[in-house]
Amino acid sequence: MIFGHQKIRDQLYHAIETDRIVGAYLFVGMPNVGKETIALNFAQSINCLDYQIDRAERRGACQKCLSCRKMGDGNHPDFETIRPDGTSIKIDQIRQVQSRIIFRPIEGKRKIYLFTEAERMNLEAANCLLKTLEEPPAESTLILIVNNIDALLPTIRSRCQILHFQPMAIADLAQVLVQQFGLSHDRAVAISANSQGAIGRALTLCQDGQHTEIDQIPEILTTTDRLSAFRIAEALSQEPEQLDTLLTWYRDLLMLHQRVDPQLLIHAHHLEKLQQIMRHYSRRHLQLAIETIFETKNRIAHNVNATLAIEVMVFNLLPRVKSN
């Protein structure tokens, strides 16, 4: 079963049903948001032997036929996934694809090549792939998956149909976790907030049983100790994606300051503690904190030294004596 991304799925199903599948797609979005799952489902739907056309809930691949099962198991001769070999996708991997893509599909209607982490193609590999993108062989489709579209050559981007994957709203994702996986409301909200609406990350958190720890109030909200600040900065630079989680806490504090209905807080079940913490912050400080986190995310995305950027950020975030 697939959750979310209804518009994108409808667009892809429509392409199949109207025979307008293009030669190259580019799936863009944050990690674990569901790009690879949708890509696999699209590939299965293209070659499914029992495509479900007019059943709203079950449109697309049947998931039961031989073709669907082979693709799901990773052993369909017309479906290949190319992942980085070590740290990058190398020219040899592209050449191997090119030597096979010219032949007609063996069992299915189309050959599908899925490139995960396509931004990790080195320049040589990217230029080599460009030749295939310029003239994609008939009956073949390439799907390139990237977290960051800016890391891809513009010449590659311009030859793909681009689909942007958005994270789910925290409340919607929480609802899925409650309804489909039987989580309690509080735990579902905590996991959704921690995963920033990325369903893949949420499902991993559900499975690995770490959910007791993921919704603790971050130490940075309460510490004034500059030595702890270094430790916090170091932990954050190991996991810069935690900056998104941090944002949710500062947003909650700011909302409390603005006397928004506490029901609307992401971390509503920590209301009492958050109200105490909020007293140590001015509204201005919280606004600046949110700006600083965004700025830091931006700097890291542009390859500024993450450890240094995060250290500076942490010292700017530390609570001070309230001034207004």
Residues that bind Zn ion (CB under 5 A): 48, 61-62, 65, 68
Q: Give φ, ψ of 213 to 5 degrees.
A: -95, -15
User: Which CB atom, from 46 or from 256, has the smaller least distance to Zn ion?
Assistant: 46
Distance, CA of 115 to CA of 90 (rounded, Å): 12
Whether 79 contacts 43, CB under 8 Å: yes
Q: Minimum Å distance from CB 66 to Zn ion?
A: 8
Q: What is the DSSP letter of 24?
A: E
User: Which CB atom, from 48 or from 203, has the smaller least distance to Zn ion?
Assistant: 48
Residues forming beta bridges with residue 31, ordered by sequence position? none
Give the Å distances, CA to CA, from 261 to 169, 246, 258: 18, 20, 9
Q: Which amino acid is at 276?
A: Q
Q: Minimum Å distance from CB 60 to Zn ion?
A: 9
Q: Minimum Å distance from CB 44 to Zn ion?
A: 6
Kindly give, in sequence order, each residue whose CB lies less than 8 Å from that of residue 95, ignoring residues fewer than 6 positions away.
128
User: Which CB atom, from 65 or from 153, has the smaller least distance to Zn ion?
Assistant: 65
Q: Minimum Å distance from CB 108 to Zn ion?
A: 10
Q: What is the DSSP letter of 165?
A: P
User: Which CB atom, from 63 or from 228, has the smaller least distance to Zn ion?
Assistant: 63
Q: Minimum Å distance from CB 42 to Zn ion?
A: 13
User: Between the CA atoms of 112, 114, 115 and 116, what dihedral angle is there, to the nearest 10 degrees?
Assistant: 180
The SS3 call for residue 197 is: coil
User: Which CB atom, from 61 or from 144, has the smaller least distance to Zn ion?
Assistant: 61
Q: Minimum Å distance from CB 309 to Zn ion?
A: 48
Query: 285: burial class by Cβ within 10 Å (0-12, 13-18, 19+)?
Result: buried
DSSP string, 187-212: HHHHHHHHTTT-HHHHHHHHHHT-TT
User: Which CB atom, from 56 or from 321, has the smaller least distance to Zn ion?
Assistant: 56
